[in-house]
């Protein structure tokens, strides 16, 4: 029997591989990743963009009044003073604004989470007529500018005697936080397996018990993320708190403006120092709840 030539042997091996189904798959080309130095440059640019305003707040707050408007400005202050931070604690009205912000933001967060968790669970796990239309109707409320609804809310609250009350601020803030919280929690509930709920139903658990004892503990990251979003919305709002609340019910953003900005002058160093101090509670909340926040936001992004 004559030996096969190299070309014939390769052809024969290929034919045998095709027939027997033992052909090796062609190697996949790996996607070319960007070099490490490019990632570091992008990270540095993002960090500078994010922290440069905060750094300038700190520099201005530590600069004496006589050197604030010096040109060219100094990136690293030579004369440092803490008098502006001390001035913040001397103003008793700022503590009233702080109390109002805490009360309004906490109530807004709790109300938004309580309402949105039931709505999100109903949209995710129940099928009823008009479900899709109602979901998009809730989402469509985000299409309107918030300032456009301010006049309408003002007239409604004035008719019912709710102006200059905590309730007016809570209702207006919840109006805008609720749609996003509902969709965020719906995406989280979509990832919870239906088999788990069905197993609890077979064991005799009712809908109320299933939701509160089984679903809610698993949905803790989503609930925390939604609550933190609603809290920040109430903490940072300016235009609604300025318009719907009087001096004794205003929150920190309009309160700081009324305290440090006037028609004749603006106390920039004191304003920067106060802005840094009032940002600390939100920053601490983000650091403590970072694990829940990341998990809640990304839960609805991947199906599985």
The residue out of 81, 113, 140 marking a domain boundary is 81
Question: What contacts 24+ positions apart, CB below 8 Å, involve 117-121?
Answer: 117/185, 117/216, 117/219, 117/223, 117/226, 119/178, 119/182, 119/185, 119/186, 120/181, 120/182, 120/183, 120/184, 120/185, 120/186, 120/188, 120/189, 121/185, 121/186, 121/189, 121/211, 121/215
Residue 184 lies in a domain: yes
Regarding whether 159 and 41 lie in a shared domain, the answer is no
Regarding whether 160 and 69 lie in a shared domain, the answer is no
Regarding whether 201 and 294 lie in a shared domain, the answer is yes
Query: Using CA atoms, how far apart are residues 198 and 152, in angstroms rounded to an integer?
Result: 45
Residue 10 lies in a domain: no
Do 241 and 97 contact (CB within 8 A), yes or no? no
Regarding whether 102 and 77 lie in a shared domain, the answer is no
Using CA atoms, how far residue 117 sits from 49, 219, 227, 285, in Å, is: 35, 9, 10, 21
**Domain with 44 in it:** 35-81
SS3 261: strand
Buried b (16+ CB within 10 A) or exposed e, 118-141: ebbbbbbbeeeeeeeeebeebeee
Rounded to the nearest 5 degrees, what angle is found at the Cα of 54, between the Cα atoms of 49 and 60? 125
In the structure encoding, which two tokens stand for residue 224, read together?
Answer: 């925390």
Regarding whether 252 and 156 lie in a shared domain, the answer is yes
pLDDT at 303 over 90: no
Residue 86 lies in a domain: no
Regarding whether 221 and 142 lie in a shared domain, the answer is yes
CATH of the domain at 135: 1.10.3720.10
The total domain count for the chain is: 2
The residue out of 26, 53, 81 marking a domain boundary is 81
Residue 235 lies in a domain: yes
pLDDT, one tens digit per residue, over 173-197 is: 998 899 989 988 998 898 888 898 8
Regarding whether 177 and 70 lie in a shared domain, the answer is no
pLDDT, one tens digit per residue, over 36-83 is: 888 889 888 998 888 898 898 899 899 888 888 888 877 887 788 899
Taking the model in full, what pTM does it have? 0.78
Residue 162 lies in a domain: yes
Residue 280 lies in a domain: yes
Regarding whether 245 and 128 lie in a shared domain, the answer is yes
Query: Using CA atoms, how far apart are residues 285 and 242, in angstroms rounded to an integer?
Result: 25
Regarding whether 285 and 149 lie in a shared domain, the answer is yes
Query: What pLDDT score was predicted for residue 168?
Result: 94
Query: What pLDDT score was predicted for residue 24?
Result: 53
pLDDT, one tens digit per residue, over 268-277 is: 889 999 999 8
For tokens 């106060």, what's the residue? Answer: 274
The residue out of 51, 81, 111 marking a domain boundary is 81
pLDDT at 293 over 80: no
DSSP per residue, 40-99: HHHHHHHHHHHHHHHHHHHHHHHS-GGGTT-SSPPSS-SS---HHHHHHHH-HHHHHHHH
Regarding whether 193 and 55 lie in a shared domain, the answer is no
In the structure encoding, which two tokens stand for residue 261, read together?
Answer: 């900005």
In the structure encoding, which two tokens stand for residue 38, read together?
Answer: 């490019």
Residues 6 or more apart whose CB falls under 8 angstroms from that of 76 comprise: 59
Residue 3 lies in a domain: no
Regarding whether 143 and 68 lie in a shared domain, the answer is no
For the four alpha carbons of 210, 123, 189 and 169, in that order, the dihedral sign comes to: negative
Regarding whether 191 and 56 lie in a shared domain, the answer is no
Residue 28 lies in a domain: no
């Amino acid at each position: 029997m004559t030996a096969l030539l190299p070309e014939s042997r390769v052809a024969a091996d290929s034919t045998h591989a095709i027939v027997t189904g033992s052909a090796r798959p062609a190697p996949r080309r790996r996607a070319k990743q960007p070099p490490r130095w490019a990632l570091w440059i992008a990270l540095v640019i993002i960090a500078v963009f994010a922290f440069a305003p905060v750094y300038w707040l700190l520099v201005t707050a530590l600069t004496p009044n006589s050197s604030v408007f010096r040109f060219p400005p100094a990136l690293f202050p030579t004369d440092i003073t803490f008098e502006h931070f001390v001035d913040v604690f001397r103003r008793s009205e700022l503590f009233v604004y702080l109390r109002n912000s805490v009360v309004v933001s906490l109530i807004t967060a709790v109300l938004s989470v309580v309402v949105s968790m039931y709505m999100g669970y109903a949209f995710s796990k129940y099928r009823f007529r008009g479900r899709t239309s109602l979901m998009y109707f809730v989402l469509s409320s985000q299409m309107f500018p918030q300032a456009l609804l301010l006049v309408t809310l003002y007239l409604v609250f004035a008719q019912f005697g709710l102006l200059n009350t905590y309730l007016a601020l809570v209702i207006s803030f919840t109006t805008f936080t609720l749609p996003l919280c509902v969709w965020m929690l719906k995406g989280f509930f979509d990832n919870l397996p239906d088999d788990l709920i069905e197993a609890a139903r077979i064991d005799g658990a009712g809908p109320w018990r299933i939701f509160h004892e089984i679903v809610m503990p698993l949905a803790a990251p989503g609930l925390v993320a939604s609550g933190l979003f609603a809290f920040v919305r109430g903490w940072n709002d300016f235009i609604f708190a300025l318009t719907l609340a009087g001096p004794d019910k205003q929150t920190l953003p309009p309160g700081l403006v009324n305290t440090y900005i006037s028609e004749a002058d603006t106390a920039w160093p004191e304003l920067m120092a106060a802005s840094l101090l009032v940002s600390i509670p939100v920053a601490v909340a983000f650091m403590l709840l970072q694990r829940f926040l990341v998990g809640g936001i990304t839960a609805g992004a991947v199906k599985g």
